[in-house]
Structure 1
Amino acid sequence: MHVYVWLLLPTALLLPPGAWSGEIIGGRVARRHSRPYMAYLIRETSMYTMICGGFLVRDDFVLTAAHCAKGEITVYLGAHNLKSKWEQGRQVIPVHAKIPHPQYDKDTDNNDIMLLQLKRKAKLTSWVKTIPLPHANRRVKPGVKCSIAGWGWTNAQSEETSDKLREVDVVVMPDVACWPNGPYENYDPSTMLCAGDPNKGKNPSKGDSGGPLVCGKTAQGVVSNGFGDGTPPVVYTRVSTFIPWIEEQMKKVQS
């Protein structure tokens, strides 16, 4: 049986500065439910509550960043306006299992990717859908326009948050824009993707950690934890590199 929950946890709207893992800088409010794959993750520990993003890749799996693993995670699907008490189509599902990549390195942010197995399958509707993943090892080319989305801060200085899903367009950059000419000494072009024109000032800054970098209709990247000084370009986990691992983990559950 699929259960719908219409009231978002009030604590999610009262988080202290710094608890939001992300911000959309220079963006706009997304059209309501235009990104039905988006997931809003609430991470609760005994000490604090934190937020991450994610995206639905199968009716029972959400993909996000490995650095979002800490705490008990609840997934919100079909959300747009977090302050709406009666938002149509919202589903709230606890996480059954966290599957971070076994080679995730928190010091270098390499392999910053994680699957979340949901405690029950999401009901796919007009408001909740999956997003396609790229073919294994197929790289998205520099110059391609992509987009990111999230509910985080809209201004890095004032730490102003958004109750509505926001989005912004970014461009894929050559690897050299992040390293060695850029600020990321641990950048690995085989597992990371560089995006964000330094002249545009549009980026996730501290993240919207775990959310997707969408190019066309495909999730090519995961917002990682390597954000430098908060100005573009920033680093994303390159999803195509991890397709064999993703398929293997989901196949285990399916079988």
Structure 2
Amino acid sequence: MQLQILLLLPMTFFLFPGAHTGEIIGGQEAKPHSRPYMAYLKSKTCRSEETCGGFLVREDFVLTAAHCADGDITVLLGAHNIHRKEKTQQRVSVRQKFPHPKYNKTSIENDLILLQLAEPAELDDAVYTIPLPQAGRTVDPGSVCSVAGWGKTNHDTKLTTNILQEVELEVMSDETCQEDRQLQQYYKPSKMMCVGDPDEDKATFSGDSGGPLVCDGTAQGIVSFGKNDGSPPRVFTKVSAYVPWIKKTMRGLSSPGSHAKSPASLH
């Protein structure tokens, strides 16, 4: 059985044999800077360079998938085309990493990490936070949410896109993943979300790990893993199950030198 960790990694870094990474399939280009919470993460180790998505939850914290956090990470905020030097972009290094204490690389449980930025982001029209859901609140099956990323755009290409892509995905019942032969061993309903209609060719697949599943303006899920062939459904970390830990971790960590504008000065 092969699972796919939704991260752009060389084969030697996969947690499962033959795994690939997370991409937007069946979507379209996002309106530039319409998702100001999006973060593009690039990490370097002695053996590789890896890319992921993430999202700004406080001016000095980005939330992403724990399996994205190896090596030295650079965070790019305010980007639409990551290969251009857009005036909206802010590039920030990571001061400290806070992986969930029960993250398990083998079972892919608790796949989330908070990255404290070396300096707070300057909040503006192109860079802004996204709200977290209420603790314990679930998203009803049948709800249509959206996800975005800079991953691959089809199953056949080896290249990721430099322009932010987005796609709408349906939240499925837990049973959809629990009854899938490739996912049932790993799927935990209390900690994960099952996303993407198996009858539609729309999914996350390569390079989108760590990006948010956005439902009614809140970050309800984090792109985590899926089947090796890239077909839906895919599995997302359920953010509402971790809100107390997220808030506790950020609480007490100051945000010195903030350049934030008041919400009234924004949209």
So what's the TM-score if we normalise by structure 1?
Answer: 0.89
Are 2:152 and 2:205, in contact at CA under 8 Å, matched by a contact in 1? no
Find the aligned partners of 1:194 and 1:149 in 2 and give their Cα distance. Answer: 17
Provide the secondary structure at the position in 1 that maps to 2:47: coil
Query: Residue 27 of structure 1 corresponds to which residue in structure 2?
Result: 27
Are 1:97 and 1:116, in contact at CA under 8 Å, matched by a contact in 2? yes
Provide the secondary structure at the position in 2 that maps to 1:81: coil
Q: Does 1:152 align with 2:151?
A: yes
The CA deviation string for residues 63-109 of structure 1, in whole angstroms up to 9 with x for no partner, is: 00011121100100000012223x12100000001111010111111
1:21-170 equivalences under 5 Å are 21-85=21-85, 87-170=86-169
Gaps of 5+ in 2: 1-7, 14-19, 256-267
Find the aligned partners of 2:46 and 2:133 in 1 and give their Cα distance. Answer: 37
Find the aligned partners of 1:215 and 1:228 in 2 and give their Cα distance. Answer: 26
Query: Residue 234 of structure 2 corresponds to which residue in structure 1?
Result: 234
Provide the secondary structure at the position in 1 that maps to 2:33: coil
What is the identity, as a one-letter code, of the residue corresponding to 2:193? L
Q: CA deviation at 1:236?
A: 0.1
The CA deviation string for residues 130-159 of structure 1, in whole angstroms up to 9 with x for no partner, is: 000100000010000001101111112122
What is the identity, as a one-letter code, of the residue corresponding to 1:119? A
Query: Residue 217 of structure 1 corresponds to which residue in structure 2?
Result: 217
Q: 1:238 to 1:16 in 2, by over 3 A?
A: closer
Find the aligned partners of 2:84 and 2:9 in 1 and give their Cα distance. Answer: 20
Identity of aligned residues (%): 53
Q: CA deviation at 1:206?
A: 3.8
Q: Does 1:243 align with 2:243?
A: yes
Query: Residue 253 of structure 1 corresponds to which residue in structure 2?
Result: 253
Query: 4+ runs of 1 displaced by more than 6 Å?
Result: 15-20
What is the identity, as a one-letter code, of the residue corresponding to 2:117? L
Q: CA deviation at 1:207?
A: 5.2
Higher mean alpha-carbon deviation, 133-142 vs 206-215, is at 206-215
Aligned positions, number: 240
Find the aligned partners of 1:142 and 1:203 in 2 and give their Cα distance. Answer: 16
Higher mean alpha-carbon deviation, 154-163 vs 245-254, is at 154-163
Gaps of 5+ in 1: 1-14
For the aligned residues, what is the CA RMSD? 1.9
